[in-house]
Amino acid sequence: MSVSARIFFVGGAISYRALFNWIQPGMYVATMLGSPLFQILFFTYVGRYAGSQDDAFFIVGNAIQVAAMAGIFGMTMGIANERQYGTLQPLLATPANRLAIFAGRALPFVVNGIAVSVFGFVASWLLLDFRPADGSVPALAVAILVTTCSCVALGMLIGSIGLRARDVFFGANLVYFLMLLVCGVNIANDDLPGWLGAIGRCLPLTHGIEAAREIASGVPLGDVSGLLATEALIGLAYATAAYVLFRVFEAEGRRRASLETY
């Protein structure tokens, strides 16, 4: 294994264990499984009452969106908490490949996001009688993977901003809730005012959720490849912006000796 690959895999795993040593099983179950489950139930029941769409619309939308919890909050903490814990300076004093350090951190959150999303679908299957089209599960898994990766990319961007901002978690929370509104999670993008829909189309989730809904209704993966490619490209754009910001803030922090000042 090359040095960069080792930093990517081993460094990513170690950083996750170090930064999230406070996670207890009970805390994980309540926050990462319980809360998403009740979010799915809540919006499905609101949807039934409103009579706007069928259950599957809300189940797929929310079961995909809950991956953003790991993607956005987790990834934000995965970068910004280095500063809060006082470990940013030693980390950046190493000669290690920055891209490997930066990208390696994403891996645990991608895995976590997928696990949360899969749990959401399974719970919906058990509790809400959700049944995706026959044979659609592998394609649905691809949609979950792509969408989770793009959410993690957005989390990377917010985390990078957290290297400079005083209260990055306010931004992370706000983005998470706004995604519920503008990304087609509970309201079809066409039913939103034009400007809100346009914001949603520039964010991760929107195209991934649209693709997942099509897949769950029986459309083959090939027919939604355009949507998934768009989702992947949006994620790539956010990841690139995040890495550029990370390097800019690193350089600025060194120049001004302000890496860990608030």
Partner 1 sequence: MTARLFGIGWVFHLKSLTHSLFFVLVSVLQPVIFASIAFFMFESGSQTGTLLYLALGAGLMGIWSATLFGSGGAIQWQRWQGTLELMVGAPPPLLALLLPLTVATATIGIYSVAGTLLWGRLFFGMALDFEHPLTLAVALPATILSLGMLGLLLASTFVLYRNANAFSNLLEYPVWLATGLIVPLSLLPGWVTPISWVLSPTWGMRAIRDAAFGGNAWPEIGMCIALGLVYLGLGALALRNFERLARTRATLSLT
30 binds partner 1 (CB under 8 A): yes
14 binds partner 1 (CB under 8 A): no
Residue 165 tokens read as 């901002």
- 202, 39, 210, 219: which is closest to 119 by C-alpha? 39
Minimum distance of partner 1 from residue 37's CB (angstroms): 9
Give the relative orientation of helices 206-216 and 194-201 as an angle to the nearest 10 degrees. Answer: 90
84 binds partner 1 (CB under 8 A): no
Residue 87 tokens read as 């470990």
Residue nearer to partner 1 on the CB measure, 89 or 173: 173
24 binds partner 1 (CB under 8 A): yes
Q: Which of 107, 128, 133, 178 binds partner 1 (CB under 8 A)?
A: 178
38 binds partner 1 (CB under 8 A): yes
The helix/strand/coil state of 241 is: helix
- Residue 44 makes CB contacts below 8 A (sequence gap 6+) with 55, 58, 59, 62, 124, 128
Residue 178 tokens read as 């706004």
* 49 to 68: interface string for partner 1, x by CB under 8 A: xxxxx---------------
Are the beta carbons of 64 and 205 closer than 8 angstroms? Answer: yes
192 binds partner 1 (CB under 8 A): yes
Residues that bind partner 1 (CB under 8 A): 24, 26-28, 30-31, 34-35, 38-39, 41-42, 45-53, 167, 169-170, 173-174, 177-178, 180-181, 186-188, 191-192
